[in-house]
Chains A and B, each alone.
Chain A
Amino acid sequence: KQEVTQIPAALSVPEGENLVLNCSFTDSAIYNLQWFRQDPGKGLTSLLLIQSSQREQTSGRLNASLDKSSGRSTLYIAASQPGDSATYLCAVGDSGGYQKVTFGTGTKLQVIP
Chain B
Amino acid sequence: KAGVTQTPRYLIKTRGQQVTLSCSPISGHRSVSWYQQTPGQGLQFLFEYFSETQRNKGNFPGRFSGRQFSNSRSEMNVSTLELGDSALYLCASSSGLAGGRSTDTQYFGPGTRLTVL
Taking Cβ atoms with an 8 Å cutoff, the residues of A that contact B are: 31-32, 34, 36, 41-46, 49, 51, 89, 91, 93, 97-106
Closest residue on chain B to residue A106 by CB atoms: B42
Taking Cβ atoms with an 8 Å cutoff, the residues of B that contact A are: 4, 31, 33, 35, 42-45, 48, 50, 55-56, 58, 90, 92, 94, 101-111, 113
Complex: A106 Cα to B56 Cα, angstroms? 24
Closest residue on chain A to residue B59 by CB atoms: A1
Q: Is the interface of B mostly helix, strand, loop or mixed?
A: strand
Contact between chains at A99 and B48 (CB < 8 Å): yes
Report 25 cross-chain contacts, Cβ distance below 8 Å, ordered by A residue: A34-B105, A41-B113, A42-B111, A43-B90, A43-B108, A43-B109, A43-B110, A44-B108, A46-B105, A46-B106, A46-B108, A49-B104, A89-B43, A98-B31, A98-B50, A99-B48, A99-B50, A99-B101, A99-B102, A100-B48, A100-B56, A101-B106, A103-B35, A103-B43, A106-B42
From residue B100, how far is it (CB to closest CB) to chain A in Å?
Answer: 8
Closest residue on chain B to residue A52 by CB atoms: B103
Complex: A32 Cα to B102 Cα, angstroms? 10
